[in-house]
Structure 1
Amino acid sequence: MDKLEARMRGTEAEDALPKMFVGKMKTYLRCINVDYESSRTEDFWDLQLNVSGCKSLHDSFKNYIEVETLEGDNKYAAEGYGLQDAKKGVIFESFPSILHLQLKRFEYDFQRDAMMKVNDRYEFPEVFDASPYLDDDADKSEPYIYHLHGVLVHSGDLNAGHYYAFLKPEKNGQFYRFDDDRVTRATSREATEENFGGDYQINGQLQKGQNPYTRQWSTKRSNNAYMLVYIRESRLDQTMPEESKIPPPEHLPARIAEEKALAEKKRKEREEAHLYMQVLVATEKHFKAYQGADLIPWAEYGADEQEEPAAPKAHRLLRSMTVSDFTKMMTKEYGAEEGTLRPWIMVNRQNGTVRPDHPLTWPDMTLEEAANKFSTRTGGFRVFLEAAEKDADGKPIWPSEEPVSAPSSPMTNGNAMTVQQQQQQRPIMIFLKYFDVDKQQLNGLGHIYMSPLDKAEKIAPHILRIMGWEEGVSLELYEEIKQTYIERMKPKNTLIASEIQDGDIIVFQRHLSEDEQVSIRQIQPTASLTAVEYYDFLVNRLFVHFTPKIWPAQTFQVQNDDQAVFKIALSRKDGYDALAHKVAEHLSSVATKPVEPSHLRFTTVNNQSGKPRTVVKRLQGSTMASILLGGSAGYGGYSYSQPQAPDHLYYEVLEMSLTDLEQRKNVRVVLLSEGITKEDPCDLLIHKQATFKEVLAALQKRASLPDDIMDQIRFYESHQNKVYKILPLNQSVLALNEFMTLYAERIPEDEANLTEENGDRLTPCFHFEKEPSKSHGAPFLFMVKGGEAFKDAKERLSKRTGIKGKNLEKVRFAVVKGGQNYSRPVWIEDEDVLSEKLQDGDHLGLEHANRNRSNWIKYESLNIR
């Protein structure tokens, strides 16, 4: 409703929603003995009515406007009149045309300490008169008679259930039941009486019914109304006009027409699907844009060209289209000159690669025939479009299909060559890739034609020409057989001896001297120095997202906030140091100052909540695979721990090195001030061999404590909100338990006068609600004076805890034997002498409500707005 109201703001219909749904109520405080009233008028869009303790809708309204008398200690401070007896309440000044009533079927049960559904019987009429609940001064010129037009129902309990509704869409029509995608007629009884809730009754006899969701038997109905919609009788004609027809928005018919046209297009495609086939087309442009193994990523076909420029393009073509027509269509689509493109059939090799096999040179052959004859069944029909080089006259140059050896060559011994020999000696198409060590990139450069009888070293002149390098550059050549098998080529071997054929890929790089290798390692410690190493990186490559664990970061700054969240490529084999170096390298490029790898710490991410999970430890032999995918597996290989994200890590830039940090311990100290009402948690990094003297110094620096009170600070541990023991300053922090809470406080002044000879002693105190096992809040130490009456001790307790006035009156005090959870409290009266009631080991308990209870127990009403 809020969004709708905001969209209507500034239009002709700006006030339409408030006119229909907004009423007014007045909250007032009216003095009984003097003429003084304080009131405030507020708008309401819906009303939340109590169900518990109310039998009908009228009872709920009476409960809503019930007047409370403020008297005695609860008098009202009237301006100019002092404390006065007063009446406090709510009254309605007007009701809207459409009245939404929320019935509070879900409430917190203090006995069960849980939210519960109220299934009590609650009656609501079809015709409702709201005038008795209006202010005497309200405008009653128009009757406030309302007719029921909507009943929203919940069937089930708090944990499981189903929602449906009964609606009356016409002024004098009948109810319809709207249940998911089913709409059925319903009677008035089905809409009202059967949703009152309460007991199952048949012929006046109490019966048991079964909750369909929990399968439990109960005498209470599990289906009942939780919201009602009433429409004012005098406004029915305006709210639900019978004759008028509202024309649809102008854009709606156009949108419906588009949807119909799209549906018709899809229908036609389905009917004609047998006439078409999918053809995947790749060009040299795709090869040059690809950073990976093989020619191109065939599996990425159809991807957005901006996101994946190497992805082949998918075409839906007629099966009867000829190769000649297909070539002409591709020539036009790619803006090439006629006769400069030639399609090659792509086939699956036994080693799992996809390479060009031979050109399609039969112009009259159909695509279906070509696919059936030459293409493999898996992967569809894939084609590589070869673009020819041009001569000086601009004419395309295609390699000769004739064998390169003369008939009298040694291979033939003067005899005529066989077909196989001719195939082996014709020019072969070889694809070239360049591994750039400095940029750590693998770039496709294009293709060349070579004779099978040429030696591998003859590829070098072609490479120097393409790269624009001078002669004398030392090269290393590798054949990419498959992603996991990269073989160094022997320069003196012929291509036919190296088993090079059409579509094979040769990777080259500049030869690196030892000095160059050392220099590169200094700049990029994790860089791959050979193509073999880089292909191994590609095989194990994974992209990991990095997010700062604390933001805004205090230890480093980036030029742009967006640069703090990034993604980099890592190898599954990378260890912790390699991970830290690569992240530090990226952060140094975007931060205002360099980031040291030794100062980085990482945390895994919970895959469900996205919150930090566990800190990654710098272990010998750990890899990215174990860091991201690690975790203990339970029975059957299932992990019982919280699942972690396989591609996401949080990072921190520390003020000290990780090695230094590992020698320290995180000590959380809760600093108490203002009695014990204010708690300031402080996380301190303390050396593991330090004592609490060093903790005190760190706390002073963190909390800016003055020097003159430092000798008055003490530490104590607590467990389950009860004091465990006082910690001396010479105690080592290694003795701290993780499950204990550490408190620091300034020693109260009255403890300076503690005299054991007079019976004075320190007693541990804790807060609890109803019973000692339900402890809460910060425990503390209190000096009990020998022979002091409790009413005097209570004043000192008020000062000690910061609990004063009426809040102190609500607290009950008890002696809890041994501080045990299930000890029966011995309540203390003002006349009691506390030192006599307390024995060694006893605790003083303060019984009062837990004000810091979790928010989940609070009733959260449905807000229509």
Structure 2
Amino acid sequence: MESDSSGETSSFFDVAMGDLLADSNAPEPFPSYDGPFADPNSPGFQDYNATDAVNPSEMLIDSDEYMNEEDAKDDVVNIDPDQSVPRADDFEKMTELVLYPLPEQPPTLEYATSTWEIENWKELPRRARGPIFHAGGHPWRVLMFPNGNNVDYVSFYLEQAYDEAELPEDFTCCLQFGLVLWNPEAPWVYVTHTAHHRFTKEEGDWGFTRFVELRKLWAQPYDETGHYLAPGQKASMTAYVRVLKDETGVLWHNFNNYDSKKETGYVGLKNQGATCYLNSLIQSLYFTNAFRKAVYQIPTQNEETLQNSAYTLQRLFYQLQSSNNAVGTNELTKSFGWETRHIFEQQDVQELSRKLMERMEEKMKGTDAENVLSELFCGKVRTYISCINVEYESRRVEDYWDIQLNVHGNKDIEASFKDYVQVEVMNGENQYFAGDDFKLQDANKGVIFESFPDVLHLQLKRFQYDIDRDAMMKINDRYEFPETFDASAYLADDADKSESWVYQLHGVLVHHGDLNTGHYYAFIKPTKDGWFYKYDDDRVTKATLREVLEDNFGGEYIQPNGQVMKVRSKPVLRQNSAYMLVYIRQSRVDNVLLPVTEEDIPSHLQKKLEEEAALREARKKERDEQHLYINIKVITDETLERYGGTDLTNFDSSPDEDPAAPRAYRYLRKSTLGDLAKTVGEDTGVDPRRIRFWGMVNRQNKTVRPDVPLPDRLMTVDEAHSKTSNSKGSDMRLWAEVAQEVDAEGEGIWPATPGPNGAARTDLIVIFLKIFHPETQSLAGAGYIYMNRDQKVEDLVPAILKKMNWPDKLPSGERTQLRLFEEIKPTMIESMKAKQTLKAAELQDGDIVCFQLANTDNKPESDSTAQNSKPSPTNSVKNSWTTADGTLSKGSPEKYELAPMYYEFLIHRREVRFVPIDTTSGIEPFTLVLHAKYSYDNIAMRVGEQLGVDPTHIRFTTANQSSGKPKAIVKRGQNQTLQTILNPPYTAYFNQNTPRVDSLFFEVLDMSLSELDTKRSLKITWVSEGITKSDSYEVLVSKSANVEDVIAALIKKAGIDDEVKGGPIRLFEVAQHRLSRQIDRNLLVNSLSEYINIMAERVPEDEIGFEDSIDIISAFHFQGEAKNSHGIPFRFRLIPKEPFSETKKRLEKRTGLKGKNFEKIKFAVVKRSSYTKPLYIADDQILDDLITQEEDLLGLDHIDRSRSVRNGAQDLFLK
């Protein structure tokens, strides 16, 4: 879990107890007083802060936090009058005692003192107030609860004394104050408490509920002379006030309703989980104005995608520049390719910074900003070995983008730089070989800087490996860094020093916490001569130079009095310390912090974000007004005609994508049905007077059908919704019926007029019709008809014929016959009984009757179904497999002769996208509509028809649901169906919320699947160019073949030279990125495991003839710990007495790794018995001597670049 700083300075007591979160209610530290009170053993020592300072309204359940000794009797100071300690009437001395130095060390504007002479204590009201005095330009007074504020203590508070009408709206004043209750007759007897507070209009009083127990006021004397604290119900109360300058505007701020943009002009970044380290880095780069300007110059107008990190960084920078609120980094991290788990992992800031620079450099190539980053951040360092006694020097000059400085053992930047460039003398056994001319020579070895960049990033090595503890540790040592420093002392003698190399501090990135938990924030100076600001995630505050420098040096916690804070005699270390510093070369500050204006921002970016802002505002307005509107879905005649699925429509479909979708409206609830009719009429070209709405309801069988007409046009939409739905928050669903007849005034005439209670006066019911076309395998709406419930089912036939404009008899003279089915629900399609009445058949308003021609050999001459069969791309199956002339296309399913069979198909219908597994085959992906119960052979047959190939040669592979890449080969089996292939049973158990993936990969094999069953398929990784290149091949060999045959098949498949021409080839079994064994060439492939990983390579020249020698060892790659293996393993030959410095040259040749990639590798001997501690190899050691057992391995320790997580270790990556 990430710890977070509250933004306030902790009190000493809090720090000592390990609680590093500030608390405005926490007790004050011990006063800085050098008199007898500073010694706990002195007779006059008392606790001057025994009680919390709080607002009186918050004190009903206040608790004491005593810091005094257990045997301390009370809070009352009782000292000998002759003692040289402050008396309560010595106001100057008491001011020094009570108003001790504060940790924040704010400047003092004014001191003030006021004494209230309290008399007749018991006669005072419940709340009593002292005289008004002024300090800091404001009136103040002491508020007293003589009998306690709901406690058995007297309560005292300091409050502002403005009249309510005169209190300034922006009233703010920071005070440190002390309240002293004392005996005016014996001023050496007193009680004192101290606090500090930011007084505001909302918090105008602050103080102490438990100031002193009531019984201790006058019930008992406090010394041998019999002095009381309040004798005779009299006492003096003195208020000591120190008015402090609030330099930053946030001293002791509670940050309620704090507006960063209003107070500072800048906004912060939201923390996604553990991304505060990212936020610090982004703010630092953003305020490196030249970098921001260069990022804006990257052309992204043709790649406005959130997968483009340059574009998302531009968006983030623009939002930081223009937004009034904290900005999110979600888009940026998603463009990095990070998943949720990366967001909650704290990454290495230096690595993140470098990778971000690399990515932006790539994006800037070919643009005006191509070299900006290297000019800003890149310097040059020289590594040299210079002989002392002869003229011979070896040097290498490299670029660097940041400098890592050692913290441990160095007190400041200067010491670290001296440590960085210190010279190592190579003499004695460590002499340098200066070539054949000079042989071994004494030499100086070191590094020196040739140049520093304009923006210097210093990485302070706060996190290092502790050998004694065998773990990474955070170094909390004190380490100082200045506001300016001169870097010229660390430049080479021949470096250009014509221009000043003085650097000024621009940013301090801070880590607060320990190794495992912590919080990151930054102090940045946005302008040349302005303030530093603290950027703590979404909060931005002004910061003092002490907060920037001293507070982040780390080391021991120093109290304001100069004393080191200790707990149990051990110093308390600061938890916050700088880990990265940003300096800007003073002479180049104007070039780095140049103004970034609106003109620098790409116009397409501004336009895009302004459009998004307008859209967000519109959505916000929509949400705010949501209660005033309702979403309405309306079925029209057009909907019914175009829809080719079950029920009357798919209410979840969108009109933009599906012509058969219902019309969607967002309508004012107070509008009338008449208003809605006008809108629907305009959209459909129908006179609104002919439109009558029906409310649609959910039936128990989970269908949605019209239920009751809504003839009252004056009824509001909200009233109509309440009448037809039990859920006020649901969408309103209506059917817009269009009258077939109108009266003289143009009003629609309706067949069934509702009665007073909403029921129809007649027995007429409305029945919806669908027609099934066997020849085109399609279903379409055919409108609706009204029938009397007393009529018989057979009476539907003439009504349908009339509706379809079909004749009673066919051209052959045969009577037109129809098959009738009732669509009760998608899974229940029943034949209707001709002689049964509609009432007996239980038909009612909204029921659906599907019909088809019974005599299919002869069709009616007048067939108007074409106009009623407009297909929907998503819902009408006809569109998926019929051609323009109405015939079935290739890949179509078998024909269904009867409507119920077709309905059953609709339920199990799957649109499957077939993708060639070989992307170079030239075959385009295609989609087929298939039955979910199809067998493997049925699927292959349809695909074979589509491709024009033998279906027995087609092999399918499933798709990975998350990546969309090929996953597993589908085995051909009798029980295998399309349903089980696409949705295996286990996926339903483990991924119930995972969307269905209806896609399959396919490949056309050179042989049938039956013949393939006699073969053995092996996946082999062919390694070449050392180990830097690998290609995967799948080879097929007979199950009776041996490894020799596998090698021959690989040569043919990979198109490589045979062994005679190219050299011998060997195969290894690989497990966990280590070589398990070399596979014998005579081994039968049937003896190999089904899940074996095979690696193949040519035998290196220096190993030919040594393959069975003990001088050959196995090598593998790992990161940090041997268990974190990765990469391609290999074999390597040992040479006796060869120094490892020479061995590395052979390793470089063997692996093919070059340059920096090879230089970053650390080599180690890894014992099989103990993978936890690799034995790292020095250049002067001999590898052959270190290998003591046959099982010993050579390990190459370097970062895993494969980006795959193994045992929790992962390299940071950006897409």
Q: Would you say same fold, with TM above 0.5? A: yes
- What does 1:182-197 correspond to in 2, within 5 Å? 182-197=539-554
Q: Using the alignment, how far apart are the partners of 1:124 and 1:322 within structure 2?
A: 74
Partner AA of 1:5 in structure 2: A
Matched, 1:423 2:791: no
Check conservation: 2:523, 2:532, Cα contact below 8 A: yes
Q: Using the alignment, how far apart are the partners of 2:1061 and 2:1011 within structure 1?
A: 31
Q: Using the alignment, how far apart are the partners of 2:914 and 2:1113 within structure 1?
A: 44
Matched, 1:476 2:816: no
Q: Please point out which of 494, 501, 505 is paired with 2:848.
A: 505
What residue number does 2:703 align with?
Answer: 353
Using a 3 Å threshold, how does the CA distance of structure 1 residues 659 and 224 change in structure 2: closer, same or farther? farther
Q: Using the alignment, how far apart are the partners of 2:903 and 2:469 within structure 1?
A: 63
Q: Please point out which of 451, 455, 461 is paired with 2:801.
A: 461
What residue number does 2:294 align with?
Answer: 5
Using a 3 Å threshold, how does the CA distance of structure 1 residues 259 and 595 change in structure 2: closer, same or farther? same
Q: Please point out which of 17, 25, 33 is paired with 2:379.
A: 25
Q: Please point out which of 618, 629, 647 is paired with 1:294.
A: 647
Matched, 1:557 2:922: yes
Matched, 1:727 2:1080: yes
Partner AA of 1:195 in structure 2: N
What residue number does 2:633 align with?
Answer: 280
Q: Using the alignment, how far apart are the partners of 2:942 and 2:506 within structure 1?
A: 65
1:653 aligned counterpart, secondary structure: strand
Partner AA of 2:783 in structure 1: G
Matched, 1:532 2:904: no
Q: Please point out which of 503, 506, 509 is paired with 1:146.
A: 503
- Deviation for aligned residue 1:547: 5.1
Matched, 1:130 2:487: yes
Q: Using the alignment, how far apart are the partners of 1:307 and 1:770 within structure 2?
A: 55
1:171-223 CA-to-partner distances (Å, cap 9, x unmatched) read 555443322223345443433344345677885477799xxxxxxx9998664
Check conservation: 1:323, 1:365, Cα contact below 8 A: yes
Matched, 1:596 2:946: no
Using a 3 Å threshold, how does the CA distance of structure 1 residues 88 and 595 change in structure 2: closer, same or farther? farther
Q: Structure 2 length as normaliser, TM-score?
A: 0.52
Using a 3 Å threshold, how does the CA distance of structure 1 residues 732 and 797 change in structure 2: closer, same or farther? farther
Using a 3 Å threshold, how does the CA distance of structure 1 residues 52 and 620 change in structure 2: closer, same or farther? farther
What residue number does 2:536 align with?
Answer: 179
Matched, 1:605 2:960: yes
Using a 3 Å threshold, how does the CA distance of structure 1 residues 353 and 715 change in structure 2: closer, same or farther? closer
Q: Please point out which of 582, 591, 594 is paired with 1:229.
A: 582
Q: Using the alignment, how far apart are the partners of 2:592 and 2:1147 within structure 1?
A: 63
1:771-796 CA-to-partner distances (Å, cap 9, x unmatched) read 998899656698x9xxxx9679x999
What residue number does 2:971 align with?
Answer: 617
Check conservation: 1:605, 1:612, Cα contact below 8 A: yes
- Deviation for aligned residue 1:110: 10
Using a 3 Å threshold, how does the CA distance of structure 1 residues 48 and 736 change in structure 2: closer, same or farther? same
- Deviation for aligned residue 1:105: 5.4
2:689 aligned counterpart, secondary structure: coil
- Deviation for aligned residue 1:735: 0.8
Q: Using the alignment, how far apart are the partners of 1:218 and 1:604 within structure 2?
A: 61
Which stretch has the larger CA shift, 716-725 or 246-255?
Answer: 246-255
Q: Please point out which of 503, 519, 527 is paired with 1:162.
A: 519
1:686 aligned counterpart, secondary structure: strand
Check conservation: 2:643, 2:649, Cα contact below 8 A: yes
Using a 3 Å threshold, how does the CA distance of structure 1 residues 844 and 292 change in structure 2: closer, same or farther? closer
Q: Using the alignment, how far apart are the partners of 1:811 and 1:103 within structure 2?
A: 23
1:286 aligned counterpart, secondary structure: helix
- Deviation for aligned residue 1:669: 4.5
Matched, 1:706 2:1058: yes
Using a 3 Å threshold, how does the CA distance of structure 1 residues 342 and 157 change in structure 2: closer, same or farther? same
C-alpha root-mean-square deviation of aligned residues, in Å?
6.4
* Structure 2 unaligned residues grouped into runs of 5+: 1-284, 286-290, 300-363, 858-886
Q: Using the alignment, how far apart are the partners of 2:657 and 2:929 within structure 1?
A: 20
Partner AA of 1:284 in structure 2: D
- What does 1:680-829 correspond to in 2, within 5 Å? 682-703=1033-1054, 704-706=1056-1058, 708=1060, 721=1074, 724=1077, 727=1080, 729=1082, 731-738=1083-1090, 742=1094, 763=1110, 765-768=1112-1115
- Deviation for aligned residue 1:3: 8.4
Check conservation: 2:507, 2:525, Cα contact below 8 A: yes
Check conservation: 1:722, 1:764, Cα contact below 8 A: no
1:480 aligned counterpart, secondary structure: strand
2:686 aligned counterpart, secondary structure: coil
- Deviation for aligned residue 1:512: 9.0
- Deviation for aligned residue 1:310: 0.4
- Deviation for aligned residue 1:295: 1.3
1:50-107 CA-to-partner distances (Å, cap 9, x unmatched) read 44667333345456666799997765999xxxx99998855344642x5444446567
Using a 3 Å threshold, how does the CA distance of structure 1 residues 152 and 289 change in structure 2: closer, same or farther? farther
Q: Using the alignment, how far apart are the partners of 2:919 and 2:1174 within structure 1?
A: 50
Q: Using the alignment, how far apart are the partners of 1:801 and 1:20 within structure 2?
A: 29
Check conservation: 1:433, 1:506, Cα contact below 8 A: yes
Using the aligned pairs only, state the percent identity. 32
Q: Using the alignment, how far apart are the partners of 1:356 and 1:223 within structure 2?
A: 69
Partner AA of 1:603 in structure 2: T
Partner AA of 1:687 in structure 2: S
1:269-298 CA-to-partner distances (Å, cap 9, x unmatched) read 847945x55543221222334343221223
Matched, 1:487 2:845: no
Q: Using the alignment, how far apart are the partners of 2:1144 and 2:498 within structure 1?
A: 61
1:647 aligned counterpart, secondary structure: coil
Matched, 1:448 2:785: yes
Using a 3 Å threshold, how does the CA distance of structure 1 residues 77 and 161 change in structure 2: closer, same or farther? farther
Q: Using the alignment, how far apart are the partners of 2:1166 and 2:609 within structure 1?
A: 76
Partner AA of 2:1045 in structure 1: E
- What does 1:379-418 correspond to in 2, within 5 Å? 379-389=730-740, 398=749, 400-401=751-752
Q: Using the alignment, how far apart are the partners of 2:787 and 2:530 within structure 1?
A: 87
Check conservation: 1:277, 1:317, Cα contact below 8 A: yes
1:313 aligned counterpart, secondary structure: strand
Matched, 1:362 2:709: no
1:590-609 CA-to-partner distances (Å, cap 9, x unmatched) read x6x547375132224153x5
Which stretch has the larger CA shift, 56-65 or 706-715?
Answer: 706-715
1:298 aligned counterpart, secondary structure: coil
- Deviation for aligned residue 1:226: 3.4
Check conservation: 1:343, 1:359, Cα contact below 8 A: yes
Partner AA of 1:465 in structure 2: N
What residue number does 2:341 align with?
Answer: none
- Deviation for aligned residue 1:662: 3.8
Count of matched residue positions in the alignment of Structure 1 and Structure 2: 781
- Deviation for aligned residue 1:804: 11
2:960 aligned counterpart, secondary structure: strand
Q: Using the alignment, how far apart are the partners of 2:403 and 2:639 within structure 1?
A: 64
Partner AA of 1:423 in structure 2: T
Q: Using the alignment, how far apart are the partners of 1:806 and 1:73 within structure 2?
A: 26
1:349-401 CA-to-partner distances (Å, cap 9, x unmatched) read 33332222343333444444444445554745432112344799998984644
Which stretch has the larger CA shift, 66-75 or 500-509?
Answer: 66-75
Check conservation: 2:1164, 2:1197, Cα contact below 8 A: no
Q: Using the alignment, how far apart are the partners of 1:245 and 1:525 within structure 2?
A: 63
Q: Structure 1 length as normaliser, TM-score?
A: 0.69
- Deviation for aligned residue 1:619: 3.9
* Structure 1 unaligned residues grouped into runs of 5+: 210-216, 404-418, 755-759
Q: Using the alignment, how far apart are the partners of 2:1164 and 2:402 within structure 1?
A: 40
